[in-house]
Amino acid sequence: MFRSLIVAAALVAVPSFAFAGKADADACAAKLTGQSKVIYRASVAYAVQGDSLEQAVTKATKPKVQAGRLSENDARRFGREAANCVRLVYRKA
């Protein structure tokens, strides 16, 4: 019971500015293609949860590199493209 109250309080305390730029970020992401769009979708979910931009993009790309599905160079390139849109999530209204 007490744990539920703490979780509820934490959700209410999450700054609303984290969602202020989500629409702009999604509009930007509509222009992305392929892996950049896939990385964007995963990264924006982490960003909305409160991770920094770097943490969000790293969490989205690192498993793909470790599994051999993406080279480091491609991960860096696609990650940058996705990050240009994800960064809009952090803008204040």
**Furthest-apart CA pair in the chain: how many Å?**
48
- 88 vs 21: CA distance, rounded Å: 5
- 93 vs 58: CA distance, rounded Å: 26
- Output DSSP code: residue 92: -
**Whether residue 85 has pLDDT greater than 50:** yes
Residue 79, number of CB atoms within 10 A of its CB? 26
pTM of the model: 0.74
Write out pLDDT tens, residues 49-69: 889 999 999 999 999 999 999
Least confident of 5-9, 70-74, 77-81, 88-92: 5-9
